[in-house]
Amino acid sequence: MAGVVVAGAGQAGFQVAASLRTDGYEGSITLIGDEPWLPYQRPPLSKAFMTGKQDIEATTLRPETFYPDHHIDLLVGERVVAIDRAQCTVTLASGAAISFESLVLATGACNRLLPIKGESVICDPVTRRSPSQHGCRTRKMSW
Ligand SMILES: Cc1cc2nc3c(=O)[nH]c(=O)nc-3n(C[C@H](O)[C@H](O)[C@H](O)COP(=O)(O)OP(=O)(O)OC[C@H]3O[C@@H](n4cnc5c(N)ncnc54)[C@H](O)[C@@H]3O)c2cc1C
């Protein structure tokens, strides 16, 4: 059944999916995020995590079991690349097409880095979790 598709599995996308289910929505819910992690909170990355008071895993909003337990289909590492409003489908970078009755765009925003010449290690303003789990603290920039 084509239910709700949420594009973007940040805090907003996660909360839409979770609230729909806990508030009684009975249709299918598909939460799609292009980052490879379970949905997580960004604020601790520049606070408790950065100061070493919180493990990176503690930023995760809910454990993996939350999603099947609440009948939410979570697709991580998948990017929505096209929306067909007439057919009510989204297409993923992997090529799969998913039908929706309602589509939520919760894709957030990205910072634009200043094109400053030179090379320096700066505090990364687009702080996100990274494969090294430390790359989100600083990033070496060079132009
Ligand atoms: C380091 C840091 C500290 C912060 N501290 C605070 C704070 O103290 N207090 C506060 O109020 N706010 C804080 N914020 C801001 C807060 O984290 C953001 O407002 C919040 O994350 C926004 O959530 P969002 O879900 O709207 O967007 P995002 O967090 O940007 O999530 C959107 C998600 O959608 C994904 N996405 C984008 N396009 C696609 C696509 N086509 N297909 C699939 N997925 C896609 C993105 O990769 C991302 O994972 C902080 C932010 C950062 C980075």
Q: Is 127 in the pocket of ligand 1 (CB under 6 A)?
A: yes
What are the structural domain ranges in the chain? 4-110
Q: Is 72 in the pocket of ligand 1 (CB under 6 A)?
A: no
DSSP-assigned letter for residue 60: B
Read off the pLDDT of residues 88-129 as tens digits, 9 standing for 90 and up. 999 999 999 999 999 999 999 877 766 776 655 444 544 677
Do 106 and 16 contact (CB within 8 A), yes or no?
Answer: yes
Q: What is the pTM of this model?
A: 0.88
Using the atom order of ligand 1, give the atom closest to the CA of residue 79: 42
Residue 72: closest CA among 137, 140, 9: 9
Do 64 and 38 contact (CB within 8 A), yes or no?
Answer: yes
Do 15 and 108 contact (CB within 8 A), yes or no?
Answer: no
Read off the pLDDT of residues 17-71 as tens digits, 9 standing for 90 and up. 999 999 999 999 999 999 999 999 988 888 888 788 888 889 999 999 999 999 9
Q: Is 137 in the pocket of ligand 1 (CB under 6 A)?
A: no
Q: State whether residue 68 is helix, strand or coil.
A: helix
Do 90 and 83 contact (CB within 8 A), yes or no?
Answer: yes
Which CATH class, in words, describes the domain spanning 4-110?
alpha beta
Q: What pLDDT does residue 50 have?
A: 77
**Ligand 1 pocket check: which of 5, 34, 137 to mutate, most ligand atoms within 8 Å of Cβ?**
34
DSSP-assigned letter for residue 38: S
C-alpha to C-alpha distance for 132 and 118, rounded to whole angstroms: 24
C-alpha to C-alpha distance for 89 and 27, rounded to whole angstroms: 16
Q: What pLDDT does residue 51 have?
A: 84
Q: What pLDDT does residue 47 have?
A: 85
Q: What pLDDT does residue 134 have?
A: 46
Q: What pLDDT does residue 137 have?
A: 47
Q: What pLDDT does residue 54 have?
A: 87
